Amino acid sequence: MALHDGLINVRKRGIRADWKKSFCKLMHWPQCCHIERVDSADAIIILREGAKLNASAFAKADMDDLLRSALVMAVSALDRYVHERICKGIVLAYRKSSLLKEQRDFSIPVSLALAATEALRKAHKAGLAVRPANEIRKKIQELLHTRPFQSWQEIDYGFKLLGISGLAGKMQASMNVASFDVVRNQLNAVVMRRHKIVHEGDLERHLRGGHPKKNAIGKKFVADSITFLEKLVDHLEGVH
Give residue limits of the domains in the chain: 2-58, 64-237
Number of CB atoms found within 10 A of residue 9's CB: 19
Q: Look up residue 230 and give its amino acid.
A: E
Number of CB atoms found within 10 A of residue 58's CB: 20
What is the pTM assigned to this prediction?
Answer: 0.84
Q: 211-232 burial string, b = 16+ CB within 10 Å, else e?
A: eeebeebeeeebeebbebbeeb
Residue 22: left if φ>0, alpha if ψ -120 to 50, beta else—which one?
Answer: alpha
Query: Rounded to whole angstroms, how far apart are CA atoms 2 and 7?
Result: 9
As to burial, measured by CB atoms within 10 angstroms (0-12 exposed, 13-18 middle, 19+ buried), residue 102 is middle
* pLDDT, position 208: 67
Angle, CA of 10, 14 and 17, to the nearest 5°: 135
Task: Please list the pLDDT of the chain residue by residue as tens digits (240 residues).
Answer: 888 988 999 998 889 999 999 999 999 999 999 999 999 989 999 999 889 999 999 999 899 999 999 999 999 999 999 999 998 998 889 888 899 999 999 888 778 778 878 887 887 788 877 777 777 788 888 888 889 999 999 999 999 999 999 999 999 999 999 999 999 999 999 999 999 999 999 998 776 666 788 999 999 999 999 999 999 999 999 998
* pLDDT, position 45: 94
